[in-house]
Amino acid sequence: MSIRILLADDHQILLDALRWLLSGEKDMEVVGEAKDGHAALKLAATLKPDVVVTDISMPGMNGIEATRLLTSRHPEIKVIALSAHTNRQHVADMLEAGAAGYITKENASDELLSALRAVMKQKKYLCPEAMKIMVGNTGRSPVAGIPRLGPREREVLQRVAKGDTSQIIAGHLFISVSTVDVHRRNIMKKLDLHNVAALTTYAIRNGLINI
């Protein structure tokens, strides 16, 4: 089956270029295009794509807020940020919102296909620039804190870093949502990390999730 893709960007030239790039892949299909976050949410609800590739800076609703709402309403849909921004805050905000991937527009032709295939395999995908920003600025040893996490806490951390909600984690691990939330709080307290972006960065740095 083809990977069904929804593109969201307010620049038609880029949308045309992405559609052309993806048209050459037998396992990929562009099912829709949106010019802002509101339109992306509406189309995602009706078209049910596998992946939404979205810009961050768009009129109306930006890509960060659209990603937050999209991953909350449709956790089965993966989101890849395709942005001109390479600063830490934008990368962190998109990861916090639930994005499974982050690549730059400059390297879209080289990175997008790999990113799409990676997120469909339940992996995170960060382009080299985003990876350097997130991993290079944690200020932590690659193994700091890992021995302090119990086996169940590691499982929960891995799934949080992959973007799973507490409900999804509870279903996979056969525990209650309240138990998942307790584990999340304990993990954040033990590692002194207080949001999903920080936990994701930590998991990447320590080899707890595949990228």
Q: Give the mean pLDDT of 87-102.
A: 89
* Cβ pair 106, 127 in contact under 8 A: no
The pLDDT value given to residue 162: 82
Which two three-digit tokens encode residue 100? Answer: 């499974």
pLDDT tens per residue across span 1-49? 799 999 999 999 999 999 999 999 999 999 999 999 999 999 999 999 9
Query: Could you tell me which of 124, 104, 9 has the C-alpha nearest to residue 66?
Result: 9
The pLDDT value given to residue 76: 93
Q: Give the mean pLDDT of 195-206.
A: 81
The pLDDT value given to residue 141: 42
Helices and strands (H, E) in the chain, number of each type: 10, 6
The one-character DSSP state at 2 is P
131, pLDDT greater than 90? no
pLDDT tens per residue across span 162-182? 888 889 899 989 999 999 999
14 vs 131 pLDDT, higher one: 14
Could you give all domains of the chain from N- to C-terminal order, each with its CATH number?
3-135 (3.40.50.2300), 146-205 (1.10.10.10)
pLDDT tens per residue across span 56-82? 999 889 999 999 999 999 999 999 999
The DSSP H or E segment spanning 102 is: strand 101-104
Q: State whether residue 29 is helix, strand or coil.
A: strand
CA distance 41 to 21: 23
CA distance 124 to 115: 8
Give CA torsion, residues 202, 207, 208, 211, to 10 deg: 90
Instruction: Please enumerate in sequence order all residues whose Cβ is within 8 A of that of 54, keeping only pairs 6 or more positions apart, or say none.
Output: 7, 8, 9, 37, 40, 63, 66, 67, 79, 80, 81, 82
145, pLDDT greater than 90? no
203 band by pLDDT with thresholds 50, 70 and 90? confident
The pLDDT value given to residue 147: 47
Which two three-digit tokens encode residue 85? Answer: 């921004």
211 band by pLDDT with thresholds 50, 70 and 90? low
Distances (CA, A) of 110 to 113, 116, 177: 7, 12, 39
Mean pLDDT (the chain) is: 87
* Cβ pair 199, 92 in contact under 8 A: no
CA distance 71 to 86: 22
184 band by pLDDT with thresholds 50, 70 and 90? very high
Q: Give the mean pLDDT of 139-157.
A: 66
